[in-house]
Chain A
């Protein structure tokens, strides 16, 4: 009995150690929530890529999409690459509409784009804008390799900051119906005695969960 309790405590201690601490905040402003869910309609989630110094990471876009699809089986999320390829060249970093009015103008000028969008039955377009950046780092880690083997010794730590904003466009209303923003900060550690042990703070994952959960509450009839 004592053995089991000790093992459970040890397991808990290891679990809390192997991932660093993350602090996150989520702000949202949404209206015109679909009370009965989105039915047969589809949702597309796209990343903003027009800034010069950062790109919204494709894996973050995938993560939010997976969170939505995993949280409610009725929500069908169209993959970013599939959508962007289907509508090439209108959603490239150079040409992507920044306002919903730009998209309306595109649909008027290019009926073939409007037809394809209607065929996909897309009701919501969600734009994700932001990135996760690595901040200050400190400590030192030395690794050496020789004929007899190798190893590392030392300690390193660094911070990571994630900042994302989701903007929701509703095609039935032809309007922006919400903005959700999230920030997350975490500290990661890397102690090394022969083998480096990375203790990574899941900053991007926490931001993904935060924004994904709010989007799920907005779109899902279960929420």
Chain B
């Protein structure tokens, strides 16, 4: 049986080294943010339409990875898919009389859902900026969407791009992760606000609305 003894200064050194190693190991992984937030239902006159919505698997599981380019920076993984679906579900339910979630992308071979049209949102691009990168004391997130409105048979009605932006100022005792989450939530709210106020003004959508209902109701605000 062997007994090893460690003096108090030695134990301190070991503890210090262990803490340093742990800190270094922890610093190797990317900073991960799973976007979480509450999204309010819109307060607006509902459009008298039954809208189908289809979320592609890439949308539902959307995540953004940015690899660090130097040792001073850290890699970032922002998972926004769950929050995207949450926001769009609440938004569409408040904008249209009825919303039908679809399990499959509408197409000629698919079952015909009894909907006026199907909306397919897609995240084309997501960018972020931290105060350490910009020297501006705000955390920022940009999202660019491609939105497609198609018939239940998959024929295109409208196809347009929409941008969203969210920022949050630096605050005492706020971690980079919580600030990026807040900026992402603000960007999602902005996406909802942009969509709600501009949907009826997209020229192809406007023409389709007039064709379907003779509906000239426009959100001119």
**Is A95 a contact of B136 with CB atoms below 8 Å?**
no
Is B12 a contact partner of A147 (Cβ separation < 8 A)?
Answer: yes
| Chain A residues near B16 (CB-CB < 8 A) | 146-147
Is the C-beta of A3 less than 8 angstroms from some C-beta in chain B? no
Size range of the chain A interface in the assembly: 20 to 34
| A residues near B9, Cβ cutoff 8 Å | 147
Complex CA gap A93/B220 in Å reads 17
Give the segment of A6-14, A28-36, A53-61 that binds chain B: A53-61
The residues in B between 135 and 184 inclusive whose CB is less than 8 angstroms from any CB of A are 136-138, 167-169, 171
Inter-chain contacts of A112 with B (CB < 8 A): 43-45
Chain A residues positioned under 8 Å from B168 (CB to CB): 55
Docked pose: A81 CA to B13 CA in angstroms:
50
- Note all chain B residues with C-beta closer than 8 A to A106: 221
The stretch among A82-90, A188-196, A211-219 that forms the contact with chain B is A82-90
Rounded to whole angstroms, the CA-CA distance of A131 and B138 in the bound complex is: 12
Separation of A55 and B42 alpha carbons in the complex (Å): 23
CB nearest neighbor in A for B13: A147
Closest to A134 in B: B137
* Given known A88-B193, A92-B190, A147-B13, contact A53–B220 (CB-CB < 8 A): no
- Tell whether, in the assembled complex, residue B221 and residue A88 are in contact, meaning their CB atoms are under 8 Å apart: no
CA distance A133 to B136 in the complex (A): 11
Contact of A92 among B167, B193, B220 (CB under 8 A): B193
A88 touches B40 (CB 8 A): yes
Contact A88-B169, Cβ < 8 Å, known A94-B194, A113-B44 = no
Interface contact A95-B43, CB-CB below 8 Å: no
| C-alpha gap A186/B69 in the complex (Å) | 39
Instruction: Determine the distance from Cα of A52 to Cα of B129 in the docked complex, in whole angstroms.
Output: 13
A89 in contact with B136 given A110-B44, A111-B45, A147-B9 (CB within 8 Å): no
**In whole angstroms, what is the CA distance A105 to B218 when docked?**
13
Flag whether B52 is at the interface (Cβ < 8 A).
no
What's the Cα separation between A112 and B13 when bound, in Å?
Answer: 68
Compute how far the CA of A106 lies from the CA of B44 in the bound complex, rounded to whole angstroms.
10
Asked whether A94 lies within 8 Å of B190 as measured between CB atoms, the reply is yes
The one of B43, B189, B220 in contact with A116, judged by C-beta atoms closer than 8 angstroms, is B43
Cβ–Cβ contact B194 & A55, under 8 A: no
Q: For the complex, what is the distance from the CA of A133 to the CA of B135, rounded to whole Å? A: 13
- Asked if residues B45 and A89 are in contact (CB atoms below 8 Å), the reply is no
CB distance from A176 to the nearest CB of B (A): 20
Instruction: State whether B43 touches A86 (Cβ < 8 A).
Output: yes
* Chain A residues, Cβ within 8 Å of B193: 88-89, 92, 94-95
Closest 9 pairs between A and B when the two form their complex, measured CB to CB? A89-B193, A85-B40, A88-B40, A92-B193, A147-B12, A147-B16, A55-B169, A89-B196, A95-B193
Q: Can you give 30 A-B contacts (C-beta < 8 A)?
A: A53-B136, A53-B138, A55-B167, A57-B171, A85-B38, A85-B40, A88-B40, A88-B43, A88-B189, A89-B196, A89-B197, A90-B221, A93-B190, A94-B197, A95-B193, A105-B221, A109-B220, A109-B221, A110-B43, A110-B221, A111-B45, A112-B43, A112-B44, A113-B44, A116-B43, A133-B137, A146-B16, A147-B12, A147-B13, A148-B12
B interface residues, Cβ below 8 angstroms from A: 9, 12-13, 15-16, 38, 40-45, 136-138, 167-169, 171, 186, 189-190, 192-194, 196-197, 219-221
